[in-house]
Amino acid sequence: MRNKTIDLTGAGFMLALLAVLPLIFGSGYLIGVLTVAAIYGIWAVSWDFMSGLTGRENFGHSLFIGVGAYAAGFLNTSFGLGPWWSLPAAMVVAVLFALVMGFPTLRLKGPYFALAMLSGAVIMQRLMLIFWEHTGGEEGITGIEPLLRSPLHFYWLVLATLALVTLLLLAMARSNWGLILRAIRGDEATCLAAGINVTFYKIASLAISAAFAGLGGALYAHYQLQVSPQLFAVVTSITVITMVYVGGMTSIYGAVGGALLLTLMTELLRDFGEWRLMIYSLVLIAILFFLPNGFVAPAWTWLRNRLAGGEAPERKRASGALASDRRDIGSTASGRETA
């Protein structure tokens, strides 16, 4: 209970700090950086929910980001749909793409799911260029209406969306649903033997992940007021995955921290000129090499244990938690068999 109180206090403090930072510095540039960081946070938590919990890494997450952004752009510019309506529409379109891609690819073993999703993103990027008469080609779709006229108000909207998405996905990750996804990651064959519909959980998790990625894509489209095929690029997916690894896989909230940390670090290194990329790469290599479990989530766990009065670290409670997880999975499966 005390850990939960500390978690809520820490989350509330960070949310309040991010909300008032633009008011303290009064910088339009800072508002823009924080807005992009918050959008990347939405993309990162959506990736971590499916790929982090199930272990089925999606190298084509940019596919859902891109289709969400293009759906918002098309509906707003070509069909005259209001910008607010484009947000749920983008989520629906992204879910449809997730179902089309998920049914045939999630049954693949090994790295083939990741490669199939990567291929889907690359194909969509190419299609946006081939059908340039309708998609605008390399320039993309322009003239998208903003959701809010004030950049500060739009930033607060994106920040609130990030907080709600993170809270929802974190609650799901800590529920029986998340328990089953972690079990699938650990031993899929055992889950099948226990009567768990593994395919359903994987496809449903991919659809949820895609929905929020599409939502983030739509917000990005209404922030930039245009979309381009670059959203489908491989570098978009790799950037999101890197943020999750730096934040801490499977933690959900760590992905938000990773997105904020790397986005802000990119901007802080601009003064280093041509050395910027080298410093950024060295920092990433150091984090990924020396901190394989990430930086943000383990750092918060350490700080929380200190604030809680030196309680035993998570590692000392791992065996008990694992036994509890196994009991929960067993009860879930037996309950389903009884039903």
What's the confidence (pLDDT) of residue 270?
85
What's the confidence (pLDDT) of residue 311?
47
Q: If we measure between CA atoms, which residue out of 280, 247, 249, 278 comes closest to residue 261?
A: 247
What's the confidence (pLDDT) of residue 254?
93
Q: Which residue has the tokens 């749909």?
A: 81
Task: Give the pLDDT band (50/70/90) at residue 71.
Answer: very high
Total-model pTM: 0.88
Q: What is the pLDDT of residues 208-225, one digit of tens each?
A: 999 999 999 999 999 999
What's the confidence (pLDDT) of residue 266?
87
Q: What is the pLDDT of residues 33-45, one digit of tens each?
A: 999 999 999 999 9
Q: If we measure between CA atoms, which residue out of 210, 263, 216 comes closest to residue 33?
A: 263
Helix, strand or coil, per DSSP, at residue 206: helix
Locate 298 and state its tokens: 């383990």
Q: What is the pLDDT of residues 235-290, one digit of tens each?
A: 999 999 999 999 999 899 999 999 999 999 988 888 888 888 888 889 888 988 88
Q: How far apart are CA 288 and CA 248, in angstroms?
A: 10
Query: How large is the C-alpha radius of gyration of the chain?
Result: 20
Q: If we measure between CA atoms, which residue out of 66, 76, 68, 59 comes closest to residue 161?
A: 68
What's the confidence (pLDDT) of residue 314?
44
Q: What is the pLDDT of residues 150-209, one digit of tens each?
A: 999 999 999 999 999 999 999 999 999 999 999 999 888 899 898 899 989 999 999 999
Average pLDDT along the chain: 88
Phi, psi dihedrals of residue 283, rounded to the nearest 5°: -65, -45
What's the confidence (pLDDT) of residue 327?
54
Q: How far apart are CA 92 and CA 67, in angstroms?
A: 10
Q: If we measure between CA atoms, which residue out of 91, 212, 84 comes closest to residue 148?
A: 84
What's the confidence (pLDDT) of residue 312?
46
Q: Which residue has the tokens 């929960």?
A: 328
Q: Maximum CA pair distance of the chain?
A: 64
Average pLDDT for 93-116? 90
Q: How far apart are CA 249 and CA 154, in angstroms?
A: 29
Residue 142's DSSP bridge partners are 226
Q: What is the pLDDT of residues 125-146, one digit of tens each?
A: 999 999 998 888 988 999 999 9
What's the confidence (pLDDT) of residue 226?
93
The secondary element (H helix, E strand) that includes residue 134 is helix 132-135
